[in-house]
């Protein structure tokens, strides 16, 4: 049988994930990387680090219906390498990995959406939206 979560459980789970991001005394970060996402968030990061966003603290608002939306968007940073964004890794203020996810251009439906997925060294990278969504069931 499949696991199915109630709306209340989905919301609590999304809040728990974003609370992990906000742990510690500083702001969480999101690394944008090239290539394919690793098999798990416990696997060493792969691909080239293209850009790192420092998030607001707290990083996300309270979840509703299993979805938490990033606070203070859009956010900008500067590209540190050239390439196409393939995935992201979200870390708490101590650098511990919390979760990984998909990256698309704005409107593409990724967990993180960027103004463009093509990143260049020294140019502005804009994160237009991000969500943490727990699966319905």
Range of the domain at 57: 7-133
pTM higher than 0.85, yes or no? yes
Residues 6+ apart with CB under 8 A from 93: 23, 24, 25, 26, 27, 28, 29, 57
In a domain, 77, yes or no: yes
Tokens for 58? 């707290």
Query: How high is the pLDDT of residue 135?
Result: 87
pLDDT in tens, 63-79: 999 999 999 999 999 99
pLDDT in tens, 88-110: 999 999 999 999 999 999 999 99
**Mean confidence (pLDDT) of the chain:** 95
The total of structural domains in the chain comes to 1
In a domain, 112, yes or no: yes
Q: What's the N-to-C CA distance of the chain in angstroms?
A: 11
Query: How high is the pLDDT of residue 1?
Result: 72
In a domain, 115, yes or no: yes
* Average of per-residue pLDDT across 15-22: 96
In a domain, 2, yes or no: no
Residues 6+ apart with CB under 8 A from 66: 5, 7, 10, 11, 13, 14, 133, 134, 135, 136
Residue written as tokens 């850009």? 51
In a domain, 70, yes or no: yes
Query: How high is the pLDDT of residue 24?
Result: 85
pLDDT in tens, 37-53: 999 999 999 999 999 99
């Amino acid at each position: 049988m499949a696991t199915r979560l109630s709306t209340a459980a989905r919301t609590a789970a999304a809040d728990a994930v974003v609370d992990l991001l906000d742990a510690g005394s500083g702001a969480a970060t999101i690394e944008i990387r090239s290539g394919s996402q690793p098999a798990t968030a416990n696997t060493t990061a792969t691909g080239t680090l293209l850009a790192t966003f420092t998030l607001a603290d707290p990083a996300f608002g309270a979840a509703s219906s299993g979805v938490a939306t990033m606070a203070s968007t859009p956010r900008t940073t500067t590209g540190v390498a050239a390439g196409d964004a393939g995935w992201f890794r979200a870390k708490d203020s101590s650098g511990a990995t919390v979760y990984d996810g998909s990256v698309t251009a704005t409107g593409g439906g990724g967990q993180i959406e960027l103004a463009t997925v093509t990143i260049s060294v020294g140019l502005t990278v804009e994160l237009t939206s991000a969500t943490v969504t727990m699966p319905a069931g």
